[in-house]
Structures are given as structure tokens and as C-alpha cells.
Structure 1
Amino acid sequence: MAENEDEDIVDPREFSAFLLDRGATHEELTVKLHDLVQAVLDTGKKGTLTLKLTVAPFKGDADILEVHDDVKLVMPQHDRKPGIFYPDKDGNLSRNSPQMLDFSSLTVVDTKTGVLKEVK
């Protein structure tokens, strides 16, 4: 029985060797991993790099397999700062509060002459 058990042991080829055979995919993963690491360091947030392999029989020859790869990168994003707006009576947003007076211009009194002057 020990001999049969030894025959069932499979020594699979290393994944890294397969990936090196896919030169463009290997290069793409290398660059995108580097970019992802930099973005994570920059934002302090997580991101993902995903490699999806699809293996299918080759049409017309059962002894050949097609391997398709799909590389997806989700970069972390910086938090966006919110804007402060006020809704008006019609539900429109404005930077100005509808309850505050609108100052199209201001005037000041010259304390020496008593003359009103417009401030722009």
C-alpha cells in the first residue's frame, strides 16, 4: 500500500513559475502592487489587487487549455471634504444662508468728516 500512496503524490509546479510565463501579467501585477502600496501609505486606507484566472478547454483540442487572466486594482481614496450649504425655500442649495441679510455693499462713517463711504 505504501507504494500506491507514493504514486498519488503530485508535485505541482510553483505558481510563481507559471506567472513568470505570463510576462505581461507579471509586469502588470508588479507595477500595480507598487502603486497600491504607495496609495495605502499616502491615504492610510486599504485597497485591493486581485488576480482572477479562468482556465477553459481549448476549442478543437482537449489536450490544450486556455488561461485567461483579469487584474483588478481598487485604489484607496482620500477623504473628500464636505461643503457647507444652506437650502432655500425651494430646496435649492446655496453658500449663503437665506436667513441672513444680503450685503451687496457696506458703508462706513468717516469719523473725521461724518461722510458715509461705500466699502467694496
Structure 2
Amino acid sequence: MPKRLSWREICLIFGTIGYVAIIIDVFIMLNYLDVFDLGRDPKQEGIGDLICYGFIPSCYAVIFLNYFKQEKKWIYVTLFTLLSFLSEWMLVQVGYMKLKGWHTWFSIPVFIIVFGFWLPWQLKLIRKPA
């Protein structure tokens, strides 16, 4: 993979996305709305939960922004939305993610917002001169 991001950008993106994903998924979606459970025992957090919340979204975000070009924005948004949707769908199919009032396709608008607007904005903010 060609490296178009600096190490500073990679670390800031990785950390920010991991933090936001954990806050939204663990505290809002699981605790307050209770729309899905992960793992065998939903009451017990494990390494798989950390990977699903902190690492997978962060890796997708860094890879997306590394390849991102403004003139091909919607091609990349579509590809990464599909990749994210398929990842979530596979978690449901193998039984690791149990849906309780949530449908996998509900995530598509969220992925479009994240890849289409939030991540490009975050990269622009990081690259903005101080």
C-alpha cells in the first residue's frame, strides 16, 4: 500500500477513530440503547470486543484516508461502505454480533457519513496549518 499519510496523521486518525468508535459503540449503542451484543457473554468484555471497537474501524479509516483522493471520493466511499457493511454482516452471520432491534443495513447511512464527510473533514483539520 502506498504511504500517503504521515506518521503523525496515522496516529491521530487511528487514535481518534478508535476513541470515537469505543464511545459510540460501548457507551451509547450497548449500554443506553442496547441494540446489539457482542461475544458469547454480553456482560463480559473481551479482546474480541476491543478489536471490533478499537482496531477494525481505525484500520479502515487509515486505509481509506491513505487511498483517498478528492476526485474519486464517492468511489472510495462506496467501496469502504460496502467493506464495512460486509464486515458487520459477517459478524452477525457467524453469531459474534447479536442484533436486538438493530438491522445491519441501518449502518449504511452511518458509514456513508463517516467515509463521505467526517473522515475527509478530519484529515483536512489535521493538515490545516497551525
What's the TM-score, normalizing by structure 1? 0.28
Structure that is richer in helix per residue: 2
Structure that is richer in strand per residue: 1
Which structure has more relative contact order (CA 8 Å, sep 6+)? It is 2
What's the TM-score, normalizing by structure 2? 0.27
